[in-house]
Amino acid sequence: MGEDVEAGLTAALASLRGGDRAAASAHLAPLLGRDPDACLRETGPLVALAEELSAATKWRTAHLAYSLLVEAGHRDQEWIAGRVAERAALQDDFIARFHDTAALERLGAFLAQATGHPVASLATARMRPGLIGMALFRHDIAFADGAAPLSVVEKVMRSDKRDMRRVRAEALLFDNIDAERLMAPRHFGVLVDGPFTSTFQAFFDGAPLPLDRWMATHDELLYRYWAQVPPASLEKGPSLVPVFLDRLRDLVAKVVPPAVEPHLRHYSLDDVALILARRHDHLAELLQRMPLFVFHDDMHCGNILVGAEGGMTIIDWDNWALAPIGTGWRFYATDDALPEPDPARIGWARTLPPEATGYNMMRMAALWGWHKALRDSKPELAARWLEKLVRHA
């Protein structure tokens, strides 16, 4: 994947920006192996090419592919185009540090301190990168003192304000709560190196959770996390309570994305604002009284790894928050009514206040569903959760 790909994408983008969509498609067709008419109409082929380029640390070329998609009218690709542009600016520096420098030279002293054992050798392999982290590396460590070998995963992010906030939050979490309690890999710390920041976790040899096991597994995980009292030392960590309060205030003021309104079935926006204005103070007080838990804010099948013998671990804890119990409940459900969570399944493990009823937990679930659907640009799902929120208000 060399200069011909970059030249073809560059020519296609220039043609598209010049108003010649047919010429742009003609440039793309040999690169994508597709009929020219489909090259810009469908996102899949260009996204696949962009991800392949990203995996090869060709971020500048990958950015051309995402820019083509945005220029062609696929606005849902704007956020990843922006992320890849940030990576592209660091491409040469990244290659110099993470490919041209031996891993032992770069990490030997850090890993020795993090593990408590002198490092004799590192066998390093690049893993498929995610959309958020810049890269993932697996390091198989051999120790000079005869300690058992260890495999760790290094997740590389930027040292900018946004990513550092996530890194610091993850460090705060694992400095104050045992990884085992969260079913998470052991955390080995953070290394800041110029424009890059790496976090290190124990490697778990597992495959993503099968999709047909998602609902049952996710419910069980929520009950497990709901049952745990977070330590007081996490009080200054990120919290969803202020976020939910802001969402309520916006709804009372009828600040709602226009794409949501056509999907409302049972209430108008005037109804929503009126009902939530009447119930605002009660809901705000309830939010402050509901018990909190440590919420994994990016739970999906890819972050739930299952080992060959059935063991499970939950990865990617750089996006967590303290959240009211009920948050996370059955987000993708589109039914008007949902079964309420069962407080008895939590109460055996932690003492719940009177406010922690199944009905109140559904209120928290609805606040979360509304927030997440907006954040994920899912207007139809947002409308369903908004009507659940109004119904439970």
Phi-psi map region of 137: left, alpha, beta (phi>0 left; psi -120 to 50 alpha): beta
Mean pLDDT within 208-212: 94
Mean pLDDT within 71-79: 91
Q: Is the pLDDT of residue 2 over 90?
A: no
In whole angstroms, give the CA distance from residue 100 to residue 139. Answer: 16
pLDDT grade for 292, boundaries at 50, 70 and 90: very high
Phi-psi map region of 193: left, alpha, beta (phi>0 left; psi -120 to 50 alpha): beta
The ranges of the chain annotated as CATH 1.25.40 are: 3-89
In whole angstroms, give the CA distance from residue 195 to residue 157. Answer: 9
Global pTM reads: 0.88
In whole angstroms, give the CA distance from residue 371 to residue 247. Answer: 7
**Which residues make Cβ contacts (< 8 Å) with residue 302, sequence separation at least 6?**
208
Instruction: Tokens 């560059």: give the residue.
Output: 10
Q: Is the pLDDT of residue 240 over 60?
A: yes
The ranges of the chain annotated as CATH 3.90.1200.10 are: 207-392
pLDDT tens readout for residues 77-130: 998 899 899 999 999 999 999 999 999 999 999 999 999 999 999 999 988 765
In whole angstroms, give the CA distance from residue 24 to residue 41. Answer: 12
What's the whole-number average pLDDT of the chain? 93
The CATH architecture annotation of domain 95-202 reads: 2-Layer Sandwich (3.30)
Strands, sheet with 150-158, edge to edge from the N-terminal-most edge strand: 119-127, 135-143, 150-158, 196-202, 187-193
pLDDT tens readout for residues 353-389: 999 999 999 999 999 999 999 999 899 999 999 999 9
pLDDT grade for 210, boundaries at 50, 70 and 90: very high
The ranges of the chain annotated as CATH 3.30.200 are: 95-202
Pick 132 or 311 by higher pLDDT: 311
Q: Is the pLDDT of residue 59 over 80?
A: yes
Q: What is the pLDDT of residue 228?
A: 95
Query: Which CATH number applies to 207-392?
Result: 3.90.1200.10
Top CATH class, 3-89: mainly alpha
